[in-house]
Structure 1
């Protein structure tokens, strides 16, 4: 991908664009959690972001930079759920329309929320069809501006504003732990964090079934796996993005894996001890911390809780 690198200045510019539009989400603390893991833990709670996930940051930053002519025609996106909602809401905020390609087995709550923001939904089979090819064809056919879920410089810069806010509030951290799907959130996080504090360790977390980024970093090239079957639907990605991987291979300090059972336990802990609802993908960073998957945990640790979009029935099924 020939895009220029994403910089700390890009993240700061995105933060200025998002001011008054996106929520500045809370940072929660828990003495119980600190005691369990032997560190000071700061939880950046993007489950309180608009659309219930960090995705609104990148979607709005990208969509708001489109020309009036592009906005007049509308936008398109492909997503398993959170980016779908984010683009739909960004389109509504900017007075344009959105067409979203979503897997037919996406959580019903995410399908309904996306439609509720006014988007047209087109479905596909995530296990047999290529969503990138379908999304690009859909956008081209209808003359729409495509906003991809992670592999776009403005999306990455927007996602990095969550870490920028966290570090503005906490100051220097020793370790920053972030869920990894296509890699946009952790790429933006790493750009922001390493730009401010070059010595901070940035570690990504993937579900065991979806270890495409871990394998890719180990092999030094983008690896494609079968579409993961995991409760962390937001991380069911078969290969890292091209731009996100180019950033992450340069800036990340490692990737760890968590099981679905460890994700469930983290969701329970967040609900019972922190009194917050976290979706499976949003809980993977906390899961890695609680399950002891991270090495050298000490000092000040930041965890990005990336989203909370799970309906009551699904939450009870997973955590009951």
Structure 2
């Protein structure tokens, strides 16, 4: 099985759905509060990890995650079309982003979440004015109900990653990294549905193709990683990870096709490494992050020789974590987490 460079072991691939001109045009559609987020070299963290580490801080905005870039792009185009209602399924971050972008444009928003969704994120979605619907089951059950609502109520269905606007909005992160931090050897991107990995990856493949694009997924939610390695869709029957923001079971075929073109490597990391990454980001960079945001650091911890001495960027994609969980995993210390950080 090819688990490293797909381009070296796979046959020709169809063109990706993304377009560089559309990504560039998305910049002006995105509210300034989501753009030009902090990006900087973090010496204390890099020294501990054995590489020069650049942090791209996508938590420095009103919804504390990167997804506002995509929902701003979606909702701006919806507003142009005269649409007045949108619906999505979300574990929390997409819902917050869609609610924020909809409220500013007068588009009503419904967010469907599974029964185990992060209550902290759901509280924020309601505070932003969206209607929240809870369904028994996980994110996949929420997606089914969201589709039903779209069909029965005429709302526009925003499918994260499948809707190309979400990928192109996320791709603007790549434009900023290329413009602002100098040469990079590798970019580490959290992998869930694939919007950020494909959007950022595509920008680098077009403008800096020698940069290694590494997508990172929890071993407890590996469907997209397994699909990338197999070159075809692999579904799983369950997820078991604290990184709820990337915990899907049914990859979207069109998104996988894009990922097969733009990703050079897809890593699977353990829960202990995710927690260790969160702790390192807190202790050495002063950042409070959710588990998905620590996937890049977790990948370096598990495969240090791959990044040793290199200039590596990782995208800190979200900071919406329940305070009690953060304290339990990070500030109080957890026996199963590495003590080396």
TM range (shorter): over 0.9
Query: What is residue 7 of structure 1 aligned with on the other side?
Result: 19
Is 1:54 the counterpart of 2:97? The answer is no
> Does structure 1 conserve the Cα–Cα contact (< 8 Å) formed by 2:50 and 2:307?
no
Q: TM-score, structure 2 length as denominator?
A: 0.88
**Normalised by the size of structure 1, how large is the TM-score?**
0.94
Secondary structure of the structure 1 residue equivalent to 2:34:
coil
In structure 2, runs of 5+ residues without a counterpart are 1-13, 333-341
Residue 254 (str. 1) matches residue 265 (str. 2): yes
* TM alignment of 1:71-82, pairs within 5 A: 71-72=83-84, 74-82=85-93
Larger mean Cα displacement after TM superposition, 8-17 or 28-37: 28-37
Residues 90 and 180 of structure 1, relative CA distance in 2, 3 Å threshold: same
From the superposition, tell whether residues 240 and 169 of structure 1 become closer, same or farther in structure 2 (CA, over 3 Å).
same
Q: Residue 87 of structure 1: which of 95, 98, 102 is its match?
A: 98
Superposition deviation, residue 19 in structure 1: 5.2
1:16 is matched with which residue? 28
| d(CA) in 2 for partners of 1:198, 1:268 | 32
Closer, same or farther in 2 for the Cα pair 1:181/1:294, shift >3 Å? farther
Give the aligned partner of residue 33 of structure 1.
45
Distance in structure 2 (CA, Å) of the matches to 1:169 and 1:122 = 40
Alignment of 1:1-320 (within 5 A): 5-18=17-30, 20-67=32-79, 70-72=82-84, 74-127=85-138, 130-292=141-303, 295-319=306-330, 320=332
CA RMSD of aligned residues (A): 1.9
Contact kept, 8 Å, 2:113 with 2:139, in 1: the verdict is: no
Helix, strand or coil at the partner of 2:18? coil
Query: Per-residue CA shift, 1:218-259, capped at 9, x if unaligned?
Result: 211011012312100011100222222111011110111111
SS at match of 1:130: helix
Q: 1:80: how far off?
A: 0.4
CA offset at residue 163 of structure 1? Answer: 1.9
Stretches of structure 1 lacking an aligned partner (at least 5 in a row): none
How far residue 293 of structure 1 moved from its aligned partner, in angstroms, is: 5.8
Query: What is the number of residues matched between the two proteins?
Result: 318
Q: Whole-Å Cα distance in 1 between the matches of residues 141 and 268 of structure 2?
A: 25
Query: Contact 2:51/2:309 (CA < 8 Å) preserved in 1?
Result: yes
Residue 60 of structure 1 deviates from its aligned partner by: 1.0
- Quickly say closer, same or farther: Cα 1:308–1:284, change in 2 above 3 A: same
Contact 1:204–1:254 (8 Å) recurs in 2: yes
